[in-house]
A and B are shown apart, each in its own frame.
Chain A
Amino acid sequence: MKINDVILQTVTKIVTFIILTFAIYLFFAGHHNPGGGFIGGLVISSALILMLLAFDIETVTQTLPINYKVITGLGVLVSLFTGMASFVFHVPFLSQAHLHFYMPIVNEEINIATTIIFEIGVAMAVVGTTMTVIVSISRNKGDEE
């Protein structure tokens, strides 16, 4: 029987971008509100999982040719080097600096911390780990790597 999943695929094409936008919002909300790199990475990987559900592994790897194991390692390295960058300024490990300035056009005070780079590393590690696990356990028995 030919299975018709055109509704799921059409919904996925729209909802994926909504979920990714929400992930970016959660990622940048993490300084003073609930959010941050970990939950942002989890939401990004849930968007990727929705794409895997609606399509298949082959199509998604053709569209996004990402090796998730490399992403995991890169994320951990980014986080580690952000922590180690504080040694240059003779402060303890993982000390963070922040910049507070006034944005003229949008008329708002902006507070940027170096924690954001650390959070990017955390998000990359989370996305890489989750997607590696999901893709590994969903692979069929006889399939090639």
Chain B
Amino acid sequence: MFAIAMAVSLVFLSVSILVGLYRIIIGPSMPDRVIALDAIGINLIAMVAVLSVTFRTSAYLEIILLMGIIAFIGTVAFSKYIERGIIIESRRGD
């Protein structure tokens, strides 16, 4: 029963990643694509967590933290590029 629940949740998470992929390809504007990428990152983190529960191991927990950090920084970088056209400024205010 437990394994079936884990497998079903993995399938649903994969489906939601596919929906996010659709939004990345079709997405009318760039902010849509960035939000979809962030959602895919969150779904990947959830998939790793479900896998970690399924295999009854704590070896994947570092990966969850690492993917959270990388997804956050990537989203911030994309947002800043969309807003200002430059990612890392030399000097603020110009």
Q: Is the A/B pair a real complex?
A: yes
Residues of the A chain whose Cβ atoms lie less than 8 Å from the Cβ of B88: 52-53, 56-57, 134-135, 138
Name which of B5-13, B21-29, B34-42, B65-73 contacts chain A.
Answer: B65-73
Residues of the B chain whose Cβ atoms lie less than 8 Å from the Cβ of A126: none
Residues of the B chain whose Cβ atoms lie less than 8 Å from the Cβ of A52: 88
Cα distance, A55 to B88, chains bound together (Å) = 8
A63 adjacent to chain B (CB < 8 Å): no
Number of A-B contacts (CB under 8 A): 58
Residues of the A chain whose Cβ atoms lie less than 8 Å from the Cβ of B70: 46
Cα distance, A43 to B65, chains bound together (Å) = 11
Residues of the A chain whose Cβ atoms lie less than 8 Å from the Cβ of B66: 22, 26, 39, 43
Cα distance, A56 to B88, chains bound together (Å) = 6
> How many residues on chain A are close to B (CB under 8 Å)?
29
Interface string of A92-105 (1 = CB under 8 A from B): 00000000000000
Residues of the A chain whose Cβ atoms lie less than 8 Å from the Cβ of B83: 3
Q: Are A53 and B62 neighbours in the complex by a CB distance under 8 Å?
A: no
Cα distance, A21 to B84, chains bound together (Å) = 31
A residues near B (Cβ < 8 Å) are 3, 8, 15, 19, 22, 26, 29, 33-35, 39, 43, 46, 49-50, 52-59, 134-135, 138-140, 143
B residues near A (Cβ < 8 Å) are 59, 62-63, 65-66, 69-70, 72-73, 76-77, 80, 83-84, 86-92
Q: What are 9 A-to-B residue pairs whose CB atoms are below 8 Å?
A: A22-B66, A39-B66, A50-B73, A53-B80, A57-B91, A58-B91, A138-B88, A139-B90, A143-B90
